[in-house]
Amino acid sequence: MTPSASPCDAWQRHENLFVTLRRSGDAPLVAVAVHHGHRIRREVLEHLTLSSAERRREEDPCTAQFTRAAPIGVIALRSRFEVDLNRPRVQAVYGGPDEAWGMELWREPLPADVVERSLTTHDAFYIQMRELLDGLLTRHRRFVVLDLHSYNHRRSGPDGEPDDPRTSPDINVGTGSVAARSWRKLIDRVIDEAARFEIGDKPVSVGENVRFRGGYFPTWVNQNYGDRGCALAIEVKKLYMDEWTGRIRPCELRATVALIGRLAARATATLEEP
């Protein structure tokens, strides 16, 4: 990227490589779906043992739609099985089963040059996110990032019992790296808004740091921006789909998108208060 290139130019140039950027306004709210992507470079795919369906189960289908809640949406196009943008650089390319839910991933260890090419995506993502967020702070006092994910809750098998709802809420808000003193009011209001919502005539269950505290990406945001920028990791239970077959449940998906929209609106309104 040349020194004169704008952040938008950079995002557009990288779009076909790993990410797409959508803008519909300039409110200080960004929604990011780092695990939506399913694409994998051919040189990585030829080493991978997993089928497309197996990969998709551990990715976050439809989270790109969740990003519509914010005026700025960032959607990863590359699969986490090529490079995981929500892990530190040294862990961003999975090495073996202990790093990937016990799954045997590779026919043989990935060549070092293939790994390094994958890591350039990780580097570029964080360069561009810094430019995007720094740019927001030239126009706004503070900003919020919604780090949007989905998670499996039937890991015992397609016919097995779902996970205990007491430890698997419908919505988990990860705030493990947030400076709570600066952002507690906003966190509480987002959680309160989620708890008021219903999906299929059933109240949404909400937990804070019950199952997930937030990964590397929100930690990076919170550590770098402190009381000027807050990243909340929003983990949505895959009620909107069958995690084993991949079949989408349209009504539940629409409701989930609406819920994320409500959370985004509440976060924005809280930001605008004195």
Task: Locate the domains of the chain by residue range.
Answer: 7-271
Per-residue pLDDT for 148 more than 70? yes
Which pLDDT does position 17 carry in this prediction?
61
Domain boundaries 7-271, CATH class: alpha beta
User: Which strand ranges, in their side-by-side order, compose the sheet holding 29-33?
Assistant: 19-23, 72-76, 29-33, 143-151, 229-237, 171-174, 206-208
Ordered DSSP codes for 78-122 = B-TTT--TTS-GGGSS--SGGGTTT---BSSPPPHHHHHHHHHHH
Give 69's pLDDT tier (boundaries 50, 70, 90). Answer: very high
> CA 125, CA 19: separation in Å to the nearest integer?
8
- Tell whether the model's pLDDT for residue 119 goes beyond 60: yes
pLDDT for residue 160: 81
pLDDT single digits (tens) 182-226: 999 999 999 999 999 999 889 999 999 998 999 999 999 999 999
Mean per-residue pLDDT, 158-164 = 86
Q: Is 113 exposed, middle or buried (0-12, 13-18, 19+ CB in 10 A)?
A: exposed
Whose CA is closest to 59, among 245, 243, 249?
243
